[in-house]
């Protein structure tokens, strides 16, 4: 995997702690804060190590895929239930 570099000076960057909720959300989407190793530059910002497509196929996203499957499944049951009710009333 390619080493991440500072967009300002091209020096190596290191991982920085997430400061707030917004950064935590972005972190879960594959972006995370980095800080420039060069103290004179002191750049800090969010960078994406993985592309969005990589993220979608990344193991962590299985969790999100599961949620989508569960929601789809519940919607299916819900729709089946509504249809079932209509069918019952039709025969009464
Ligand atoms: Zn820098």
Is the pTM value of this prediction over 0.85? no
Would you state the structure tokens that stand for residue 24, as one six-digit string? 């935590």
How many angstroms is it from 39 CA to the middle of ligand 1?
Answer: 8
Whole-number Å distance between alpha carbons of 78 and 61: 26
How many angstroms is it from 62 CA to the middle of ligand 1?
Answer: 35
Hey, where are the domains in the chain? 1-56, 58-92
How many angstroms is it from 37 CA to the middle of ligand 1?
Answer: 7
Question: According to the model, what pLDDT value does residue 52 have?
Answer: 57
Whole-number Å distance between alpha carbons of 71 and 64: 11
Question: According to the model, what pLDDT value does residue 3 have?
Answer: 73
Q: What is the pLDDT of residues 28-79, one digit of tens each?
A: 777 888 999 999 999 998 887 766 556 555 555 667 778 888 999 999 999 9
């Amino acid at each position: 995997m390619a080493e991440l570099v500072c967009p300002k000076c091209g020096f190596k960057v290191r991982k920085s702690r997430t400061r707030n909720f917004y950064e935590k959300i972005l972190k879960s989407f594959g972006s995370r804060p980095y800080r420039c190793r060069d103290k004179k530059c002191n750049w800090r910002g969010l960078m994406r190590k993985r592309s969005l497509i990589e993220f979608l196929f990344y193991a962590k996203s299985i969790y999100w895929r599961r949620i989508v499957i569960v929601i789809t499944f519940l919607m299916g049951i819900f729709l089946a239930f509504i249809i079932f009710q209509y069918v019952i009333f039709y025969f009464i």
